[in-house]
A and B are shown apart, each in its own frame.
Chain A
């Protein structure tokens, strides 16, 4: 046994530093060599190149009399890259130099990407904080009917928009989730020309332009109903068109990993196919399906283009999604951006912050659910959870 375990393949990813306990059984002999360690000489080379490049760029910019902070930063990086490359080439040879430069390049690119994305969230928080928290719960409950010349930020709020978003998301979820799950089950089960076509269409529709969904529902539903057409329900229809492929695709992945032995056991015991779905497949995939649905909601709650022609955008409370125009968070942001005035813009930032908060909370909730063991009952915390070995038998 011991000889076998000596030649056992190390776990995936173990080639990279994995901290304490990375080696099998904690034995030092079998622990993978720690690859990259930032040695003193490496730090020195990096710092030296950076300093040399900074000095060079500084002198050139001062002599030429250029004042451009952005340009200077870019030139600094370019010169640093060149200097560091030449230095590593002379010290370690071309192969190591390429590796070092690639490392710098990868980290730089990743930092630029991460910074840009973090900047979005931080900027929205910075701009929207005052609007939401200046008179705290008020902004979440008031509507926009007071918005006009001389209105203060404490007079307005996104309550009506939140009501619209919640009701429209509920309708869209009720429409798409059963359809999505049934379609996903069908796609997993069968392998015919029809199912392959549906699968390809689902994939392609996942990235369809949002404005087209809005246009489609406008032509299908709103236009035939003339002035009574723009309702929360019409907006929910447009959102469903966007949401159905997303939920189907995600549910497909979840249903596909339900162990075949479970379904076969149920079938062998004589259960009809629909009972296998209802009593075996869905309960086993429950956590994953919840994740799929919530991720779908999070993706769709922020869509503006589908609701533009369909919801109407009503500044006051309208609790009835089936009659009269209704507001919606992204739509409210869009409408307030398009109107001039500092208070209106500030309220748009406040609405953006609320929307981002809602979407991110939904996302994190979905993540937590996704980590739950298969078959566990999330919403009955006082019942003893079945652990996964028992489920798999």
Chain B
């Protein structure tokens, strides 16, 4: 009896140390409980299926009428038989790209500053502040952008167009106006994306092995050397994923675009003025309540395209971020 209490040393008892499998009797209550858990998880899938189903059914009419023109026509005007989704899709993507290009470097700098440069005592405060700003509603960012930023960026934008107009993107679709542009929307959306990219990439960078960082410093490396040779290679996947998450957020950005962008429906590469590219979210928000049946159906189809695109971007982004925490390549 006494020997049973003492743990058996592995060399005394040469059996592999695997846990014993216990076949538990699962009661009826437990079965019901497991069923409840699984069925509540099913709700998320049902919502996804519901969104796809309802948008597909709603957009079917436009798909039948518009058909292949959806991706070939360069103008959006369903009531006149023009079903070109490209100006809106390209516009949504362009806003997200501009936003990520602006927010990316700033967010990386902020994340590095909080992790590596700021005094230790203020780090948690700064982290909290960034997370807090992620909860500020996008309608507030949009209102701020409409009242302040879109006017502030007008004269630098004019200067850019005057001096760098030979670049295809830095042009205006219609001369003279610089306020309600894709660029302005991207700039304001960048403010909503900065907290997201910063917070995700900061977390990934904080997981970089401290031993390796200290080894780099101990070998006489500079702080920047440590960042480029240890932290950035380690967190590369996470940072890419964070950028993609920001891109996804920019794609679905609604209120900022609704408030700032002018209504546009033409395919163009010029990003600095009104009446050019549109945006899916803006088109749905503004036209849907008053649209004719065919127009509504076309807008629902647009919604499906936006939803699918964003979902794909987010899935890829999450997969990359989740894979990054190992880092042992």
* Residues of A that sit less than 8 Å from B by CB: 9-10, 12-13, 15-19, 35-36, 68, 70-71, 95-96, 98-99, 102-103, 105-110, 112-114, 116-117, 119-121, 123-124, 127, 178-179, 182-183, 185-187, 189, 194-195, 197-198, 200-213, 215-216, 219-220, 241, 244-245, 248, 267, 272-274, 277, 295, 298-299, 301-305, 308-309, 330, 333-334, 337, 348-349, 352, 355-356, 359-360, 362-364, 367
Which of A114, A212, A215, A330 touches B139 (beta carbons < 8 Å)? A330
- Pick from A198, A202, A277 the residue with the most CB of B within 10 Å: A198
- Enumerate chain B residues within 8 angstroms of A248, measured Cβ to Cβ: 44
A45→B147 CA distance, assembly (Å) = 40
Interface of B is mostly: helix
Tell me the smallest distance from the CB of A69 to a CB of chain B, in Å.
Answer: 10
Looking at the assembled complex, report how far the CB atom of A48 sits from the nearest CB atom of chain B, in whole angstroms: 21
- Interface SS of A by simple majority: helix
A-B contact list, 25 entries, CB within 8 Å: A16-B116, A17-B120, A107-B113, A109-B110, A110-B117, A116-B106, A119-B144, A182-B37, A186-B38, A194-B41, A208-B314, A209-B310, A211-B303, A212-B51, A212-B306, A215-B284, A215-B288, A215-B300, A267-B24, A305-B254, A305-B281, A333-B139, A352-B143, A356-B136, A359-B136
- The reply to whether A211 and B194 contact each other, CB–CB distance below 8 Å, is no
- Which residues of chain B come closer than 8 Å to A304, judged between CB atoms? 137-139, 254-255
Interface residues of B in 302-326 (CB under 8 A from A): 303, 306-307, 310-311, 313-315, 317-319
State the CA gap A219–B307 with chains docked (Å). Answer: 15
Determine if A272 and B27 form an interchain contact, defined as CB atoms under 8 angstroms apart: yes
Instruction: Look across to chain A and name the residue whose beta carbon is closest to the beta carbon of B319.
Output: A200
Closest partner residue, chain A, to B39 (CB atom):
A182
Given contacts A305-B281, A309-B288, contact A179 B195 (CB under 8 A): no
**B184-241 CB contacts (< 8 Å) to partner A:** 191, 194-195, 198, 210-211, 213-214, 217, 222-225, 227
Candidates B131, B210, B245, B284; contact of A15 at CB < 8 Å:
B210
Q: Which residues of B contact A (CB under 8 A)?
A: 24, 27, 29-30, 32-34, 36-38, 40-45, 47-48, 50-51, 54-55, 57-58, 105-110, 112-114, 116-117, 119-121, 128-133, 135-141, 143-144, 146-148, 155-156, 159, 191, 194-195, 198, 210-211, 213-214, 217, 222-225, 227, 245, 248-249, 251-252, 254-255, 258-259, 281, 284-285, 288-289, 300, 303, 306-307, 310-311, 313-315, 317-319
